[in-house]
């Protein structure tokens, strides 16, 4: 009944309803207007995401989402020589997988607003500290990700958005503009702190507001519009269309 925004991505999407999370912030700001549907899959890369496409976006869907955020790349960019090698996807394949995801969604509905998000930057020192906190002396000495390699994935994500005429959010660049981004925005060198989540929600909401989402109607009357003596009036007026 209500329009839906679907958040499709990896752990940074899956965790986006934790305290201070960007997904919950989007759900909060459009509450009573839009439903936010969480489809985040921790550890997933774009290659595995393709297996989910027809399940998450069935072609027979009666009401396609008004918007979809596609937020992959943090795992695709895992290094072949590191602990996340299973997750690695070559950068060219990453770009083509993203293209297939976008095309599938656009086949459902040309009107769905598709927003591409790049992976956030990597704080390699933060990754090392995190690995040591988890595995002590057994922590691998070789990095699982580097900021430079992740930057190449971010670049291809933005390039694809330009090719396809889609809005994109270059988190990799954006976050690095702030002094101390390593600890301010990242909790373990990769995942987001509440401040890092706020960067994402601000950028996402900016794009959604430009598309007019804040002007969408409330589903039911605001309580200030309800006459205490004659409440049915407000509901008859507004619910007739629902």
Locate the DSSP E strands across the chain: 4-9, 35-40, 67-71, 113-117, 168-169
Residue 104 touching a second copy (CB under 8 A): no
How far the first Cα of the chain sits from its last, in Å, is 8
- Distance (Å, whole) CA 39 – CA 90: 23
Eight-state DSSP code of residue 77: T
- Distance (Å, whole) CA 210 – CA 31: 17
Task: Measure Cα distances from 215 to 4, 102, 209, 211 in Å.
Answer: 15, 26, 8, 9
Are 65 and 36 contacting, i.e. CB atoms less than 8 angstroms apart?
no
Residue 240 touching a second copy (CB under 8 A): no
Which listed residue (9, 14, 64, 76) binds a second copy by CB under 8 A? 14
Which listed residue (91, 106, 109, 235) binds a second copy by CB under 8 A? 235
Residue 1 touching a second copy (CB under 8 A): yes
Closest distance between a second copy and the C-beta of residue 106, in Å? Answer: 21
The residue from 11, 109, 173, 187 that is catalytic is: 11
Which listed residue (5, 8, 9, 25) binds a second copy by CB under 8 A? 25
Are 39 and 101 contacting, i.e. CB atoms less than 8 angstroms apart?
no
Closest distance between a second copy and the C-beta of residue 228, in Å? Answer: 4
Compare residues 41 and 208 and give the one whose CB is closer to a second copy.
41
Computed on alpha carbons and rounded to an integer, the radius of gyration of the chain in Å comes to: 20
Which listed residue (24, 79, 91, 108) binds a second copy by CB under 8 A? 24
16 belongs to the catalytic site: no
Compare residues 24 and 164 and give the one whose CB is closer to a second copy.
24
Q: Which residues inside 43-82 make contact with a second copy, applying CB under 8 A?
A: 43-44, 47-48, 51-52, 55, 75
- Distance (Å, whole) CA 242 – CA 221: 11
Q: Which residues inside 187-226 make contact with a second copy, applying CB under 8 A?
A: 194, 219-220, 222-224, 226
Rounded to 5 degrees, what angle do the CA atoms 79, 123, 141 make? Answer: 50
Active site residues: 11
Q: Which residues bind a second copy (CB under 8 A)?
A: 1, 14-15, 17-21, 24-25, 27-28, 31-32, 35, 37-38, 40-44, 47-48, 51-52, 55, 75, 85-87, 194, 219-220, 222-224, 226, 228, 231-232, 235, 239, 242
């Amino acid at each position: 009944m209500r329009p839906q925004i679907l958040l499709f991505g990896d752990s940074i999407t899956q965790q986006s309803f934790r305290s201070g999370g960007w997904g919950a912030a989007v759900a909060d700001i459009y509450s009573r207007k839009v439903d936010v549907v969480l489809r985040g899959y921790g550890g997933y890369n774009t290659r595995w995401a393709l297996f989910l496409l027809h399940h998450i976006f069935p072609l027979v869907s009666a009401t396609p989402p008004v918007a979809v955020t596609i937020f992959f790349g943090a795992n695709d960019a895992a290094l072949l020589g590191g602990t996340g090698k299973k997750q690695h996807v070559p950068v060219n394949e990453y770009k083509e997988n993203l293209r297939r995801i976008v095309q599938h969604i656009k086949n459902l509905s040309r009107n769905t607003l598709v927003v591409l998000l790049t992976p956030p930057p990597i704080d390699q020192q933060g990754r090392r500290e995190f690995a040591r906190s988890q595995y002590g002396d057994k922590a691998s000495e070789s990095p699982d990700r580097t900021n430079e390699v992740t930057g190449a994935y971010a670049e291809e994500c933005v390039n694809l958005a330009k090719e396809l005429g889609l809005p994109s959010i270059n988190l990799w660049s954006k976050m690095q503009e702030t002094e101390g981004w390593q600890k301010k925005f990242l909790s373990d060198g990769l995942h987001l702190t509440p401040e890092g989540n706020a960067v994402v929600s601000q950028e996402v909401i900016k794009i959604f507001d430009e598309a007019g989402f804040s002007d969408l109607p409330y589903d039911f009357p605001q309580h200030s519009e309800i006459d205490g003596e004659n409440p049915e009036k407000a509901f008859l007026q507004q619910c007739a269309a629902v």
